[in-house]
Homo-oligomer: A and B are copies of this chain.
Amino acid sequence: MNRKKLIEQIKLKKTFLCIGLDPDVEKIPQQFLDMEDPIFEFNISIIDATADHCVAYKPNVAFYEAYGLTGIESLEKTIRYIKANYPDHFVIADAKRGDIGNTSVMYAKASFNRLNADAVTVAPYMGSDSVKPFLGFEGKWAIVLGLTSNEGSRDFQQLDVNGEPLFIKVIRQCASWGTINDMMFVVGATKAEMIDQIRKVIPDHFLLVPGVGAQGGSLEEVCKHGINKDIGLLVNVSRNIIYAGQGEDFANKAAAEAKKLSEQMKPYIK
């Protein structure tokens, strides 16, 4: 999905919510456990219940890989289901990939061709030839880790490098390899004050913002600091939506939580 369509969808649906699909068989409701593919069936229920209240889904690839082949099958089926039933929703394979050039080419193939995701998250540590192979595909995106939402982001990302934090160097350098049409950045919601710093470097890029909810980030702060003339935000919430309820009504509760977040976003969408 290209930038123009993504912006249109955000304005049409009046939300920039992305829902993280991190299914964990230890947390999904009991009734799914006897089914042939509990993860896929759980995902379908969540997707059907929430599609009106979000513009994107972000399956977290680790949660599928942890179940081996059957997990990967659930992941492929989930993306196929979204693309078949909700073709206007943006799909992010949250995989944090990145390797030497010939290997990143393979990861790009895996994400864009095999999984048919619109975007894949990319780890920048290995530099240019690890990031560039994900760029230049029509309507496909590399979402590069800039500043993440976890505690460990302090260890390296926030190190001072000649008067500015590493994450600023990473974002500026990576932005020079792509365009606002094929690159976004992960910017954690738990560091809202740093979003100002980042917006000075990349005023026009879309930011994928995790960390609202379970990790403690504030949606209001993110909007205040991160929004740009094209909205430019995808705010991801995973656990707080998909595990909003544990009983029979889990899907309704997920929908209610997604709707609540989208209502909070509406005033920011002109």
Residue ranges of A at the interface with B (Cβ–Cβ < 8 Å): 22, 60, 62-63, 65-69, 71-73, 76, 94, 96-104, 106-107, 109-110, 113-115, 123-131, 145, 148-157, 159-162, 166, 169-170, 173, 210, 215
Do A99 and B96 form a contact, CB below 8 Å, given A76-B69, A107-B65, A153-B127? Answer: yes
The smallest C-beta distance from A36 to any residue of chain B, in angstroms, reads: 16
Contact at B156–A166, with CB atoms within 8 Å? yes
Please report the C-alpha to C-alpha distance between residue A150 and residue B127 in the assembled complex, in whole angstroms: 8
Do A169 and B161 form a contact, CB below 8 Å, given A125-B123, A152-B127? Answer: no
Please report the C-alpha to C-alpha distance between residue A145 and residue B104 in the assembled complex, in whole angstroms: 15
Residues of B within 8 A of A155 (CB): 127-128, 173
Residues of B within 8 A of A72 (CB): 68-69, 72
B65, B115, B161: the one within 8 Å of A114 (CB) = B65
Residues of B within 8 A of A101 (CB): 150
Please report the C-alpha to C-alpha distance between residue A94 and residue B106 in the assembled complex, in whole angstroms: 13
Do A98 and B100 form a contact, CB below 8 Å, given A123-B125, A156-B169, A157-B125? Answer: no
Please report the C-alpha to C-alpha distance between residue A106 and residue B99 in the assembled complex, in whole angstroms: 20
Do A100 and B150 form a contact, CB below 8 Å, given A67-B114, A161-B159? Answer: yes
Please report the C-alpha to C-alpha distance between residue A109 and residue B66 in the assembled complex, in whole angstroms: 5
Do A60 and B110 form a contact, CB below 8 Å, given A69-B72, A173-B155? Answer: no
Contact at A128–B103, with CB atoms within 8 Å? no
Contact at B106–A131, with CB atoms within 8 Å? no
B98, B114, B150: the one within 8 Å of A123 (CB) = B98
Contact at B127–A145, with CB atoms within 8 Å? no
Residues of B within 8 A of A71 (CB): 110
Do A66 and B96 form a contact, CB below 8 Å, given A130-B150, A156-B173? Answer: no
The smallest C-beta distance from A261 to any residue of chain B, in angstroms, reads: 20
The smallest C-beta distance from A52 to any residue of chain B, in angstroms, reads: 27
Residues of B within 8 A of A152 (CB): 100, 126-131
5 additional A-B pairs beyond A62-B97, A62-B103, A65-B114, beta carbons within 8 Å, are A68-B72, A96-B98, A126-B157, A155-B173, A156-B170
Contact at A68–B76, with CB atoms within 8 Å? yes
Residues of B within 8 A of A170 (CB): 156
Do A66 and B100 form a contact, CB below 8 Å, given A72-B72, A127-B153, A173-B155? Answer: no
Please report the C-alpha to C-alpha distance between residue A107 and residue B107 in the assembled complex, in whole angstroms: 16
